[in-house]
A and B are shown apart, each in its own frame.
Chain A
Amino acid sequence: EAQVTQNPRYLITVTGKKLTVTCSQNMNHEYMSWYRQDPGLGLRQIYYSMNVEVTDKGDVPEGYKVSRKEKRNFPLILESPSPNQTSLYFCASSIGQGGDEQYFGPGTRLTVT
């Protein structure tokens, strides 16, 4: 089954404790992206990657890191999480660049206390 998976689905952590949210797709898609979704603000892009070893900042990259060492994986790293990073995070992938339909993962609900 073609899908985008994320782990964990739910996470409660404390300020400053490094964490990684994994994202994997099995569709051989070149393009992957991370979004956060907050009430009243909609989906905002954090980082995106157009292929292996090619990543770039989205609209709200501060406090986040990403890497794309393999085509299928695109982990999101929070080196020192803060309460303002409490949010619902989505990973997405598409065949090519943003003009193609994006397939979203199920989401990761992160709470930073």
Chain B
Amino acid sequence: GQNIDQPTEMTATEGAIVQINCTYQTSGFNGLFWYQQHAGEAPTFLSYNVLDGLEEKGRFSSFLSRSKGYSYLLLKELQMKDSASYLCAPYTGTASKLTFGTGTRLQVTL
């Protein structure tokens, strides 16, 4: 099975930087997804990390350490529209298995 751990809630100020952590324990790990989900809406893809290291995509960056079973999502220059849940999802590559964490609800305040 898989065990995925991320903080339940976080609060940050507009314009600031926030880091959302995710730790996971899984067998047959292939890579890790991050999805964003606004309240009442569908999840949308943010990033997919396969190799160790940081991948930057605009204001969002995602980091992966395969040996530590650890990833984080870094959001810079926070905007009010970034208030959403952020879902960590390790992919095992086994039978197309994608398992989602329970998500971190981020609230951006003025």
Contacts and interface: CB of A to CB of B under 8 A. Distances in A.
Given A99-B30, A107-B40, 15 more contacts: A31-B96, A40-B102, A45-B97, A48-B96, A50-B96, A98-B91, A98-B96, A99-B31, A99-B93, A99-B96, A101-B33, A104-B42, A105-B42, A106-B41, A107-B41
Interface in B13-57: 30-31, 33, 40-45, 48
Interface of B: 30-31, 33, 40-45, 48, 87, 91, 93, 95-103
A31 B91 CA distance: 15
B97 A98 contact: yes
27 contacts: A35-B100, A40-B102, A42-B87, A42-B102, A42-B103, A43-B43, A43-B87, A44-B100, A45-B97, A45-B98, A45-B99, A48-B96, A56-B95, A59-B99, A90-B43, A97-B93, A98-B93, A98-B96, A99-B30, A99-B48, A99-B91, A99-B93, A101-B45, A101-B48, A104-B43, A106-B42, A107-B41
A102 B93 contact: no
Interface of B is mostly: loop
Nearest to A30: B96
Contacts of A101: 33, 45, 48
A41 interface: yes
Nearest to A98: B96
Nearest to B45: A101
A39 to B, nearest CB: 9
A65 to B, nearest CB: 19
